[in-house]
Chains A and B, each alone.
Chain A
Amino acid sequence: QVQLQESGPGLVKPSQTLSLTCTVSGDSISSGNHYWSWIRQPPGKGLEWIGYIYYSGSTYYNPSVKSRVIISVDTSKNQFSLKLSSGTAADTAVYYCARGRAGEAFDSWGQGTLVTVSS
C-alpha cells in the first residue's frame, strides 16, 4: 500500500523560501504510472492544487503560484520536493503531497504538514 510522507521546516520567515519533501513508499515514482502533486490548505479554508511532476521531470504549476514555485523529483530516493519562494503570510497552510493519474483523482495523500510564514 502506497504511503506518502511530507517533511520540512514548520516555520519560514517572510520573503524566504518554503521547502518541503515528500517521500513515497509502496510505489515507485519512476514507474511512470502516476503524477505527483502538491496541494495546500490554509487554516480554516479550502484546498488549492499547487502543481505536479512526472517521473521524467516534466511539471505543471497552478498559474496563481507559477512565478514562485519549483517542483523537482529525485527518483533514486523516491522523493519529490516543493520550493515556494518569496513567502508571505498567505502561504501559511497545511501542505499535502498526493498521487494521481493525469486528469484523474488523487487516490493517496500524505498526512500533511503545517507551514507557518511568520517572523
Chain B
Amino acid sequence: QSVLTQPPSVSGAPGQRVTISCTGSRSNIGADFRVHWYQQLPGKAPKLLVYDNRNRASGVPDRFSGSKSGTSASLAITGLQAEDETDYYCQSYDRSLSGYVFGTGTKVTVL
C-alpha cells in the first residue's frame, strides 16, 4: 500500500553517481511534508540516512545527498562504493491518510 513510488532498481559502476527518485502527490510530498531516506542492509533494520529532505544523519558520508522539488524527492549517491549495494526507502507523511507512508523501495547494484 505504498503511495510513494521508487524505481525498483538502479545501478552504477564504482565511483559513479546514481540517483533514486521518490514520486508522491499533493497529499504528501507536494503538501510540503518532509522526505526522509533509509538504507536497509540485508537482514537488518532500516537506518536513517537523510532527514528533512536534505540533512544527513549522524555519521552518514557526504557522498549521500537528498533533494526535493514539487511532488518528488531524490537521493543521490556520488562516488559509488561496493558497500552501497543494498535497499533504499523514502518516507514522508500523507495528509489523506493522516499517517506515515514509505516508498516502494529501490535496490542499488554496484556493477
A112 to B45, CA, bound (A): 6
Lowest 9 A-B CB distances belong to which pairs?
A: A105-B36, A105-B51, A109-B45, A49-B100, A47-B102, A46-B105, A103-B93, A112-B45, A107-B48
On whether the beta carbons of A46 and B34 are closer than 8 Å, the reply is no
- Given A47-B89, A104-B34, A106-B91 in contact, is the A60-B98 Cβ separation under 8 Å? yes
Residues of B within 8 A of A (CB): 1-2, 33-34, 36, 38, 44-48, 51-52, 57, 89, 91, 93, 97-105
Instruction: Find the B residue at minimum CB distance from A51.
Output: B99
Instruction: Find the B residue at minimum CB distance from A103.
Output: B93
A64 to B96, CA, bound (A): 13
Chain B residues, CB < 8 A from A105? 34, 36, 48, 51-52, 91
- Give B24 Cβ to nearest chain A Cβ, in Å: 14
On whether the beta carbons of B48 and A106 are closer than 8 Å, the reply is yes
Chain B residues, CB < 8 A from A96? 45-46
Chain B residues, CB < 8 A from A107? 48, 51, 57
Chain B residues, CB < 8 A from A109? 45-47
On whether the beta carbons of A37 and B100 are closer than 8 Å, the reply is yes
Instruction: Find the A residue at minimum CB distance from B93.
Output: A103
Chain B residues, CB < 8 A from A52? 100
Chain A residues, CB < 8 A from B51? 104-105, 107
On whether the beta carbons of A103 and B33 are closer than 8 Å, the reply is yes
A20 to B80, CA, bound (A): 38
Chain A residues, CB < 8 A from B102? 46-49
A44 to B99, CA, bound (A): 23
